[in-house]
Amino acid sequence: MAIWNPWHGCHKISPGCANCYVYRKDESIGKDAGVVTKTGDYGLPLRKNRNGEYKLSAQDGTVYTCMTSDFFLEDADGWRQGCWDMIRERTDLHFHIITKRIDRFERCMPSDWGDGWDHVTVCSTCENQDRADHRLPILLSLPIKHRKIISEPMLEEITLGKYLSTGLIERVVCGGESGPNARPCNYDWILKVRGECMQYGIPFTFKQTGAVFVKDGKTYRIERKYQMAQAKRSGCSYEPPKAPLP
Ligand code: SF4
């Protein structure tokens, strides 16, 4: 697993952004996360070591792309084509692009995208029902080979059944919000989406509880270091049984 941040900085666009970790981290060092800049890692996928080998090797596998910004941000319109060119070349890696701007995908896709590239997964986030109902029909309508839904921070009860029933979603990831101003995440909301995933045989990951977690009517404050571990301990994640070999 590797992380590739070709640019840094972003603009808040929806309720899920309110306590954005990029803003939080930048504020802590006196930096303005609203200023979007190309990073020194822009060319990382094609960078080579002294032996002429790629620094990101095929063993790195998944490359989480643009984790301190949004890949489809307007400010990066002049830089994105260069990224597509690098992604096109590295078919030995698998690029994960997580976005709150799936509505910009079509105008931002490369001219030879066709019906999608096998080594690219596009993940649309939805923090509430309103954003799910806006973004997920777009995600489903686009020519994409691998699609995921991420609801993190999950801010309310969400129903995803009609999107999952299409059979076009490969995984759903849910979780709470971290940080000092974290909003609560209710375990019932997590269980509801998990149930929908089970109904349609879709893998489900409960990634983290968040800092303010509500279970059985009680509110728990959970330290950062335990948020992922607690979610794992809940045993709530779900992998559908594999179909038997013919
Ligand atoms: S889109 Fe993502 S990176 Fe950008 S402000 Fe919102 S949460 Fe932060």
Digit-coded pLDDT (tens) for 175-212: 999 999 999 999 999 999 999 999 999 999 999 999 99
Question: What is the average pLDDT value for the chain, to the nearest integer?
Answer: 97
Report how far ligand 1's centroid is from the alpha carbon of 10 (Å): 6
Q: If you search the block for the tokens 């559908």, which residue do you land on?
A: 240
- Is the distance from the beta carbon of residue 12 to the nearest atom of ligand 1 less than 6 Å? yes
Q: Give me the phi and psi of 224, to 5 degrees please.
A: -50, -45
Confidence of residue 225 (pLDDT cuts 50, 70, 90): very high
Q: Give the CA angle between residues 82, 86, 87 to the nearest 5°.
A: 115
Confidence of residue 245 (pLDDT cuts 50, 70, 90): confident
* Ligand 1 atom closest to Cα of residue 21: 8
Report how far ligand 1's centroid is from the alpha carbon of 73 (Å): 10
With a pLDDT cut of 70, the percent of the chain lying above it is 100
* 42-56 per-position pLDDT tens digit: 999 999 999 999 999
Report how far ligand 1's centroid is from the alpha carbon of 102 (Å): 13
Residue 79 has pLDDT above 90, yes or no: yes
* Ligand 1 atom closest to Cα of residue 12: 5
Report the pLDDT averaged over residues 207-227.
Answer: 98
Report the pLDDT averaged over residues 51-72.
Answer: 96
Report the pLDDT averaged over residues 67-92.
Answer: 98
Confidence of residue 23 (pLDDT cuts 50, 70, 90): very high
Report the pLDDT averaged over residues 150-169.
Answer: 98
CA distance 126 to 238: 20
Q: pLDDT value at position 239?
A: 97
Candidate of 8, 11, 12 to mutate for ligand 1, largest count of ligand atoms within 8 Å of Cβ: 12
* 117-156 per-position pLDDT tens digit: 999 999 999 999 999 999 999 999 999 999 999 999 999 9
Residue 90: how many other CB atoms lie within 10 Å: 18
Report how far ligand 1's centroid is from the alpha carbon of 98 (Å): 10
Question: Domain locations in the chain?
Answer: 2-233
Residue ranges with strand state E in the chain: 2-4, 7-8, 37-38, 62-65, 94-99, 120-125, 146-151, 171-175, 185-186, 204-208, 212-215, 218-221
Q: pLDDT value at position 219?
A: 98
* Ligand 1 atom closest to Cα of residue 14: 6
